[in-house]
Amino acid sequence: MQLHFLGTGAGMPSKERNTSALMVKLLEENGEMWLFDCGEATQHQILHTSLKPRKVTKIFITHLHGDHIFGLPGFLSSRSFQGGDEPLTIYGPAGLQQWVEQTFALSKTHLTYPLQFVEVHEGVIYEDDKFTVRASELRHVVPCFGYRIEQKDLPGELLMDKVQSYGVPKGPLLGQLKKGQDIALDNGTIIQAKDVVAPPKKGFTLAILGDTKYCEQAISLAEQADVVVHEATFDGSTTDLAASYGHATNVEAAKVASKAGAKYLLLNHLSARFLPHDLPIFLAQAQAIFPQTFLTSDQAVFYWNNNNLLF
Ligand SMILES: [Zn+2]
Ligand SMILES: [Zn+2]
């Protein structure tokens, strides 16, 4: 899994930070890419990368503020021009489907691929054999959701030395053991899968939170998560201001990660008021509460590898 940040700024784009978009690359896990939010010019940010829009199979929108959706019509139509014919599903709050469909109707835009909408509600909004995605409403000035992506545990490896010592022949029996099924050899010996398969490997948990003030819902979405992506529009000196605008500070984001028992915290949605020379202090304020905090920047890529986040 890789997290490729395409836009890490707050409401207004700046030269350094575009509006919100985060590509979650799951190429090793399921061959897909999932995009979280699609602020204006997200497709231009993608032009600087090797990311392929047709590989994006799901888009999760946190809320309907322009800095999170104004790039959507452009992204969706370019995906058509670039030969995308794979179906795409968009998850988001009520009203999103209407907005996209009206935009397409008025601009006479036609897509070459099936587009499906899922209106997000509290609870599990997607599940397959590899992932579960849950949504919960945060506390912003409009309905805004956070998403928790849980990878299901991966089946343990077949321990080949053990398999060989039991004399299991190569072929379909190995596959059955790998699936956790016990087998019988020709000589009548029963081999139990648990004796020759390593324990399952724990999947990762990722919490991607939309705009929000400090809230319990953020903590519960981030509970024991490996990586939490939390907004930090304000800093510790402007906590009251942050809450009145429905936003959080770097310090509050760190409190969320700490209370949730998360492993890593990535701060995004940074206001353009913070200039590059402000950022070391901005980061230090959060790290004082949650040491494993990192700042995101446009085009920063974080890699999930053996239960560690590398960049
Ligand atoms: Zn925003
Ligand atoms: Zn917002």
Please give the Cα distance from 104 to 76 (Å, whole number): 10
Q: How far is the CA of 105 from the centre of ligand 1 (A)?
A: 26
b (16+ CB within 10 A) / e for 237-257:
ebbeebbebbbbbbbbbbbbb
Distances (CA, A) of 104 to 72, 109, 112: 11, 5, 13
Q: What is the mean pLDDT of residues 105-127?
A: 97
| Whole-prediction pTM | 0.93
Tell me how far the alpha carbon of residue 63 lies from the centroid of ligand 1, in angstroms.
8
Question: Phi and psi of 253, rounded to 5°?
Answer: -60, -40
Give residue 178's pLDDT.
Answer: 87
Catalytic pick among 37, 67, 226, 235: 67
pLDDT of residue 302: 98
The encoded tokens of residue 78 equal 């370019």
Query: What's the rounded Cα separation, in Å, for the pair 79 and 53?
Result: 6
Tokens of residue 274, six digits: 């913070």
Ligand of minimum distance to the alpha carbon of 21? 1
Can 67 be counted among the known catalytic residues? yes
Question: Residue 224: exposed, middle, or buried by beta-carbon count in 10 A (0-12, 13-18, 19+)?
Answer: exposed
- 263 Cβ contact list (under 8 Å, min separation 6): 225, 226, 227, 292, 309
Confidence of residue 306 (pLDDT cuts 50, 70, 90): confident
Average pLDDT over residues 66-79: 97
pLDDT digits (tens, 9 = 90+) for 213-272: 999 999 999 999 999 999 999 999 988 889 999 999 999 999 999 999 999 999 999 999
* CATH value of 2-154+201-310 in 3.60.15.10, 3.40.1440.10, 3.40.50.620, 3.40.50.300: 3.60.15.10
- Judge whether 129 is annotated as a binding position: no
63 is in an annotated binding site: yes
Exposure of 261 by Cβ count < 10 A (0-12 exposed, 13-18 middle, 19+ buried)?
exposed
Query: What is the reported pLDDT for 250?
Result: 98
Phi and psi for 291 in degrees, rounded to 5?
Answer: -60, -35
Look over the chain and give the mean of its residue pLDDT values, rounded to a whole number. 96
What is the mean pLDDT of the segment spanning 53-81? 97
What's the rounded mean pLDDT across residues 105-117? Answer: 96
With contact defined as beta carbons under 8 Å apart, do 86 and 41 qualify? Answer: no
pLDDT digits 0-9 by tens, 4-46: 999 999 999 999 999 999 999 999 999 999 999 999 999 999 9
Tens-place pLDDT, residues 122-175:
999 999 999 999 999 999 999 999 999 999 998 888 999 999 999 999 889 999
Residue 84 has pLDDT above 90, yes or no: no
What ligand is nearest to the CA atom of residue 37? 1
Ligand 2 centroid from CA 37, angstroms: 11
CB 191, CB 144: distance < 8 Å:
no
Taking the C-alpha atoms of residue 229 and residue 208, their distance in angstroms, rounded to an integer, is 5
What pLDDT, on the 0 to 100 scale, is given for residue 180? 87
Q: Hey, which residues does 267 pair with through a beta bridge?
A: 230, 295
User: Ligand 1 being an ion, which residues bring their Cβ within 5 A of it?
Assistant: 67, 211
- Retrieve residue 306's tokens: 């053996």
- On whether 48 is known to bind a ligand per the annotation, the reply is no
CB 42 within 8 A of CB 53: no
Proportion of the chain above pLDDT 70, given as a percent: 100
Neighbouring CB atoms inside 10 A of 31's CB total 9
Per-domain boundaries in the chain: 2-154+201-310, 160-190
C-alpha to C-alpha distance for 296 and 300, rounded to whole angstroms? 6
Closest alpha carbon to 298 in 1, 35, 4, 51: 4
Going by C-alpha positions, the residue among 182, 291, 282 that lies closest to residue 232 is 282
277 is in an annotated binding site: no
pLDDT above 90: residue 83 = no
Residues recorded for the chain: 311
170-221 per-position pLDDT tens digit: 889 999 998 889 999 999 999 999 999 998 899 999 999 999 999 999 999 9
